[in-house]
Amino acid sequence: MEPISLDVLLASVGKEVGVSPWRVVTQRMIDQFADATDDHQ
């Protein structure tokens, strides 16, 4: 990945950058993450 200059970052303020499509997050995915990180809240 190429470094991003401060000028490019400042020009991006208020704009959408790197937008990706929505992803459905299921309860199973949440549970698996909790299992993997041992973080059952």
Per residue in 1-41, pLDDT (tens digit) is: 899 999 999 999 999 998 999 999 999 999 999 999 999 98
Q: For the chain, give every domain's residue range.
A: 6-37
Contact 28, 34 (CB under 8 A): no
Q: How many CA atoms lie within 13 A of 34 on its CB side?
A: 9
pLDDT of residue 24: 98
**What pLDDT score does 1 carry?**
85
Which of the 8 DSSP states describes residue 40? -
Which amino acid does the sequence have at 30?
Answer: I
0.75 cut: is pTM over it? no
